Structure 1
Amino acid sequence: MKTLAFAVAASTALAGSTALAQDDPLKIGAAVYGLNAEFMQLWSEAAENHPAVQSGEVDLTVFDGRYDALVQQEQFETMITQGFDAIVFVPIDVEAGATAVQQAADAGIPVVGSNTRVNSDLLTAYVGSDDVQSGRMEAEAVLEKIGCEGGVVILEGPIGQSAQIQRLEGNMQALEACPDVEVLEQQTANWSRAEAQTLMENWLTAHPEGIDGIIAQNDEMALGAIEAIKAADLDVADFAIAGIDGVTDALVAVQNGEMTSILQDAKGQAQGAIDVAINAAREGGHEPLADLWQQYPDMEWADGAKGEYEVPWTPVTEENVGELLEMRQ
């Protein structure tokens, strides 16, 4: 658990009040599925740098779910017991997370989803990106490079997480347009570079001449596949490789011509969700502070009352990869 202690102390005159005054710091929890990999680290850092957190309007606590639905459930129970004002939820499991949302709703605590989805109609709103679209985009990039012929492997995210489910749906939509492409292997590597490297090593042994494309549902797994190819003394240029997220090492790999990636805007998702959570906790009237509302003019704030806020994807290209890398420094 990582806590930011920027909360402004309430005055003595307000200390005994049970009502939430406009100037009181809000206690908001961000329950994320895990912090081992760069993307969720970027997401959490962006949440911590939201202007309302930095100014003291919000006291933010980021909870590391350790890729375990039961751990996330326990963290919700902690936040409920401690009287948090709102929760931003990035669940590891689309079904298991519904119980936690129900408990928060029963306690009168608004929950805003972000990045990954939960199968619950009790969310205040969802701020994220269309994973079906990204899955289709990455698969199309691989299929275009191999000319819609040959064999591909698919490295999936954690089974049961919404990003895995929806990106696979997008993968399959693209593959339907290429009936001459064979899916040789398909297995989860749990968003892990190390697990993906091990799987890819096994697949290269099992299909020494058959793998033309690698569809990895995140960049970490694509990078693991690249490491396996290099370890086998094969030429990365002989494979069409795609991932999703735009993490730093993937941007470098794109710059080197080793893979394709699609940037998922961690900052936009996290800070947008914080704005919506503040608005829900204040019961309306919050003026959004994150810059994504200006960055994406088609994302209408609509007084924080929309159920869905879709943050666009940005394909990483030769033209923009240098700028994207500079932004990470």
Structure 2
Amino acid sequence: MSAELPKNINVKEPRWDQETMSGRAKHFFTVTDPRNILLTNEQLDNAKKIIHNYRQGSVSPGLTEDELWRAKYIYDSAFHPDTGEKMILIGRMSAQVPMNMTITGCMMTFYKTTPAVIFWQWINQSFNAIVNYTNRSGDAPLTVSQLGTAYVSATTGAVATALGLNALTKRVSPLIGRFVPFAAVAAANCINIPLMRQRELKYGIPVTDENDNRLGESTKAAQQAITQVVISRILMAAPGMAIPPFIMNTLEKRAFLKRFPWMNAPIQVGLVGFCLVFATPLCCALFPQKSSISVSRLEPELQEKIRKTNPGVERVYFNKGL
């Protein structure tokens, strides 16, 4: 082991304390860094090699701790944690900001006509399906049928919500109409995420003690995990879909956009992107990735099992997902 590095760095866990909001925020600012999508395959494979070698006790001479952590986050940004496969580029967390700013900006620009609403809601849910498939759990893989059901249901729900609200807002202020895409996205998240994770709701997710010893599977923990993810996703979309409408409503009354109406979409995409750079990591950090639940809130049969085999355990832990 190289003298430059401590021998006990746990590169399986984040660098910062995940019990604090600031620690989780630092972690997710690194995870969602859009610059990672510009890395070459050679850089990704080199980061993978550094991490695998370190875990086996072999370190390149001169490697520093900062370089090790950088390699860890590059590796985590591109390779699936369970399967080890290189993930689809646009499905990676580092692609969330550039992809979402483009899609959301266009949804909020082209929201007045039925064909535009259908097209951009379809594009958005197609992207969500890719993200959910790319970041699927290796412990409970999605089947093609489950993926298809969630995709069709979320797309239908988003389109129906958008078209229904568009019809209702024709008689009110144009500013209110600008919030229709956000309502559609929120509705789609409430449909899409539970359907994508229906296996977890049916069979439960693994719960462990604080030392990661598996104690069983819990549907109650799955319900809490999915609720937290839905809240995070909706709040993640909120700033980028709630702040720009006020700005754009003002700008469209000015001479500049009246003279150059084609600038509407680029400005809107830029505003959404600025919001998402901060909203994406901060909302991912709202709840600990390793979340917990009291044993007394678990299913009666699991409570009984834990109290018999591990009488001192009062809380269990689980991965909430993203």
Q: Flag the structure with larger Rg.
A: 2
Q: Which has the higher contact order (CA 8 A, sep 6+)?
A: 2
Higher strand share: 1
TM-score normalised to the size of structure 2? 0.29
